[in-house]
Amino acid sequence: MKWVIKITYDINKLREKIDDIDNKIIELILKRMEIVHQVGITKSKDNSRIYVPERESAIYRKLSSHSGISDKDISNFYTEIISFCRKLEGILDVVIKKDSYSLIGVKKLFGEHVNTIFVEQFDSIDTSSIKYILSPFNEEVLNFIQKNNWFVINKVSINNENLYLFSSFENTILNDNDLAILLGVKKISDNCLKINKNLFINFLSYKESKFLKDFKLLGVIPKN
């Protein structure tokens, strides 16, 4: 009977330590929220981007390096922390087509705090208020971003299906090993999408893309 009492005592002590850590985590998140709120006030004055994927990707890499936990695992739970804090700056409106992959993808990319807007056609979007589209790469979305001078800024994979985030805001914090998305009339990489018989989307490192001519840079996605 004594060993049962000792085990129970040990478990209770461990649970007290866990509770203490949980309290400290919440305190730190609240402090993070206060700082994010201050950042949001500054951004609102100069109309800066609320969502900065390059910054989030850098956070994941830094935390991964610090902890030894993979970038993917870090992003799986940290996305919600960032999402919760980001809502203090503003809830993002993201347009998608009504399908299961897009519904899952928008939550995976932005967390719970995002406003999803469904459309039948992207041409129906009011670009004065809508700044983000999540979609597979296809001719419809390509025509839209070229017509409206939008950019590819991020991507998310759901069961081997790649969804790309398109925005009126361009990524500006670029690294050589980031992923450049190039539009051209020929295939220059094994990692390539055929839009139609005359157009290809090529994916190369940003460093490689700097030396290419006759290709249009559609955007740069931060390396995760």
CA distance 75 to 72: 5
7 and 57 in a single domain? The answer is no
Looking at residues 194-213, what average pLDDT do you find? 92
**145-201 confidence digits (pLDDT tens):** 999 999 999 999 999 899 999 999 999 999 999 999 999 998 988 888 999 988 999
Q: Is the pLDDT of residue 86 over 80?
A: yes
Q: 109 phi and psi, to 5 degrees?
A: -80, -40
Can you tell me whether residue 99 is helix, strand or coil? coil
97 and 118 in a single domain? The answer is yes
Q: Is the pLDDT of residue 54 over 60?
A: yes
32 and 103 in a single domain? The answer is no
76 and 27 in a single domain? The answer is no
Q: Is the pLDDT of residue 4 over 60?
A: no
69 and 31 in a single domain? The answer is no
33 and 67 in a single domain? The answer is no
What's the whole-model pTM score?
0.90
**108-161 confidence digits (pLDDT tens):** 999 999 999 999 999 999 999 999 999 999 999 999 999 999 999 999 999 989
Average pLDDT, the chain: 91
**66-75 confidence digits (pLDDT tens):** 999 998 899 9
* Number of folded domains that form the chain: 2
173 and 106 in a single domain? The answer is yes
Read off the pLDDT band of 87 (50, 70, 90). confident
Cβ neighbours of residue 221 under 8 Å, at least 6 residues apart? 53, 152, 153, 154, 155, 171, 178, 179, 181
Q: Where in the sequence is the domain holding 60, given as residue range(s)?
A: 49-221
